[in-house]
Structure 1
């Protein structure tokens, strides 16, 4: 046993077979992050040791997580993130051929045993894991015949679990034309396979054909945004930034929030005016203009932010936070943001809203009004808003503010 196999890892004890129960998704995600951190730390000192740890963790993922409820998607995302970190560690390790062959054999068996395709990204990047064109060529030679047999079988329903591994190896081995010819045999072409054809055409310098090939991959249940991103990258690599922006820049924007989508586009097109990017993105979401409020606010486009916040529903809590954050630097903006929050609360918008949220918005309105010496006018605006309707949401806001507004009237009459 080598010194790398003898290393005293912490994570294996936490990834025993059946280590996590049905409700242990959060704990499993945490343990995955800790394991990856441990492996990254070891990699800095010894890349081969880190790769051995990465292979060992990948082997243990399915046996350890088999019984965990993954329906929320959180666990799957955590596994994918872990694999994104682990695969390059193995791929880039300066290991001898014998060591790498052992890793690949173990990983192949782990994929075969995987019951829910947690390890599908491993197969997708098998060519990288091979570490060299020579090893990739050897694996391609082993996999290409069964894949060709599967795709030429006249009986429907055939499936070969090593399909992406084969395509990835052909790509890594530089066998581009063979890869393209093999893809033509697939009776049910899908982007999951054809993306390797796009990369092959790019490697051959046939970028225009690569874009056409990607466009021809569209269809039912195919990921249009991912295809857009691939086409965009090809055009950008060709120096065609304006064409890339016009054709794919907005549709390829990815992010888990509207502001993240903006940042994604702005990062790829630093030469474009940020206001123009935001305006173009807003136009892609008619009826959802309010959701771009935070982006406009970040760009210090306060008038535009308020216009968006009042054009369509905007999260009241986001508006209240903006009012709090800008109370001292931009009290007019803070006032109008908090008033917009009260408006949308009175119209029933907001997630898990309580009376505390209503009072918080009211307090921010009054704080801003005090700084602007405009308390009486603002109080009248709030009163009109609270009495504008008898729907359930307006009644809720009215009841939540009843004590606050009564206290103001009493205080005002006492002063008078």
Structure 2
């Protein structure tokens, strides 16, 4: 299956913006606009683009100066718009379980990396449960569990307190320790 030639993809490489927030904010707005444009004729493809952008945001913005709060506002608005696009394509997930797995893993990774201001323990449990259900439909349960275990055993530097989430994945959807602190 050929992938869509997203214009934003090469622009969101690791540390692409250095410390400058203005170019990063402009690129985020452009990427969201591109995804919204695709959503008008292919919601499922737009949802895949939304997941791709969410996956690329954190590494690309890693060193951006966020002292003014402007980049945080831009990212929060973008995430809100992207989640709406993903939600609109939800009907497609039963037909495309691999996409649902990809979206679920992106949400879990976002939480493990410590992003988001209001994430709570139930967000992690819910994201994990939904991802496992999608993985069952796609036949990828063990691969998903292995990926989650990798994140838990090797968390990003400095993220062990807030995102010590998904500490031990046992059984179907049991997660022993979520968000200590």
* TM > 0.5: yes
CA separation of 1:118 and 1:105: change in aligned 2, threshold 3 A:
closer
CA separation of 1:26 and 1:99: change in aligned 2, threshold 3 A:
same
2:9 corresponds to which residue?
A: 12
Contact (CA 8 Å) 1:54, 1:89: kept in 2 or not? Answer: yes
Distance 1:39 1:126 in 2: 28
Cα RMSD (Å): 4.0
Q: Structure 2 length normalisation: TM-score? A: 0.63
SS of the residue corresponding to residue 64 of structure 2 reads coil
Distance 1:187 1:57 in 2: 28
1:226 corresponds to which residue?
A: none
Does structure 1 residue 87 correspond to structure 2 residue 94? no
1:99 corresponds to which residue?
A: 99
Structure 2 spans left out of the alignment, 5+ residues: 150-159, 167-172
1:162 corresponds to which residue?
A: 165
Task: Give runs of aligned pairs for residues 22-171 of structure 1, distance below 5 A.
Answer: 22=19, 24-93=20-89, 94-95=92-93, 96-112=96-112, 114=113, 117-119=114-116, 124=123, 127=126, 134-135=133-134, 160-162=163-165
- Return the offset for 1:13: 2.1
Q: Structure 1 length normalisation: TM-score? A: 0.30
Bigger RCO (CA 8 Å, 6+ sep): 2
Contact (CA 8 Å) 1:87, 1:129: kept in 2 or not? Answer: no
- Return the offset for 1:98: 2.4
Which structure shows the higher helix fraction? 1
Contact (CA 8 Å) 1:79, 1:118: kept in 2 or not? Answer: no
Structure 1 spans left out of the alignment, 5+ residues: 147-156, 164-169, 171-181, 189-416
- Return the offset for 1:99: 2.3
What is the number of residues matched between the two proteins?
148
SS of the residue corresponding to residue 85 of structure 2 reads helix
CA separation of 1:187 and 1:107: change in aligned 2, threshold 3 A:
closer
Distance 1:39 1:187 in 2: 35
Could you say which structure has the larger radius of gyration?
Answer: 1
